[in-house]
Amino acid sequence: MYHHFIHGILIGGLACHSRWDQTDLQKLILSSNKLTDIGDGVATLRALTLLDAHDNQIERVSPAIAELSQLRTLNLSHNALAILPDELCILRALSSLRIDHNKLKSLPREIGALIDLTELVRSTSLRAAPLARAKVKITVKTPYVRVFGDSIRRF
């Protein structure tokens, strides 16, 4: 099992780094690197179970993220995302999604297809999404208050 921890290093974008060609990489932590996007190169990381890219400047996540069929944890909090790709909803193994402190106004329409999703951390500005089939613990983050919920009805 390979783990990469890259913290505080300026990297232009995930797709431009040759180290990501390791297809057996399972955990990748890219926090605080001033990344601006998660590009198509992410598709080469098919064994990835955890991708933590919080506290960057990410504005775009490539639809190629759908190739990460083993991904269980995705942390994109504290970035500049205004939209998430619809392909995110193909990640059936995804159980934890952290998207708080972004520019998001809504979730992809098919987010309810993520039936293994058990944790969703989002900001208060994000509109509710159809998660009826999922049993999700929802954490709503505001600058000062944290609210916990155990079903979609807490939106």
CATH number at residue 85: 3.80.10.10
Angstrom distance (rounded) from CA 130 to CA 134: 9
Average pLDDT for runs of 10 along the chain of length 155: 43 48 83 96 94 98 97 98 97 96 93 92 72 58 42 35
Domain holding 49, by residue range, is 2-154
Closest to 14 (Cα-Cα) out of 72, 4, 24: 4
Task: Please tell me the total count of domains within the chain.
Answer: 1
Residues paired with 27 in a beta bridge: 3, 50
φ and ψ of 110, to 5 deg? -95, 20
